Amino acid sequence: MDIKLAEALLRRKELQAKVDQLARIKDQDMVYIVRSERIKVSDGFDNLNADFPKLTASQVTAEYDFYARQLRLIDGKIQQANWTTVIDCPECMTSYQPPAVVA
């Protein structure tokens, strides 16, 4: 699939944001074990409170790996275009020349 360089640059930025977001997830931010608490309310009735895992480390790692790989691929293509594309702009490469001082 062919895409324009501008689209590749936007995709790289989007992928970098996703990789950064996933990298910030720390182990303590995820619940890995089921914790429960049983409270006796009255005869024959119990109130049970429990925390269940929302994400596992393997889920976060798999998603991170996917987006990191996508980022590496698009960045490689952008760098290839960067080193092989020639533009015509001789005025872009000139240095500043101060104006002549008239005495």
- Reported as a pLDDT band with limits 50, 70 and 90, residue 27 is low
Element (H, E) at 41: strand 35-42
Q: State the average pLDDT for the chain.
A: 82
Q: Is the pLDDT of residue 14 over 60?
A: yes
Say what the pLDDT of residue 60 is.
81
Say what the pLDDT of residue 44 is.
65
50-86, pLDDT tens digit by residue? Answer: 666 667 778 888 899 999 999 999 999 999 999 998 8
CA separation for the pair 42, 28 (Å, rounded) = 35
Say what the pLDDT of residue 24 is.
81
Q: What are phi and psi of 52, to 5 degrees?
A: -115, 150
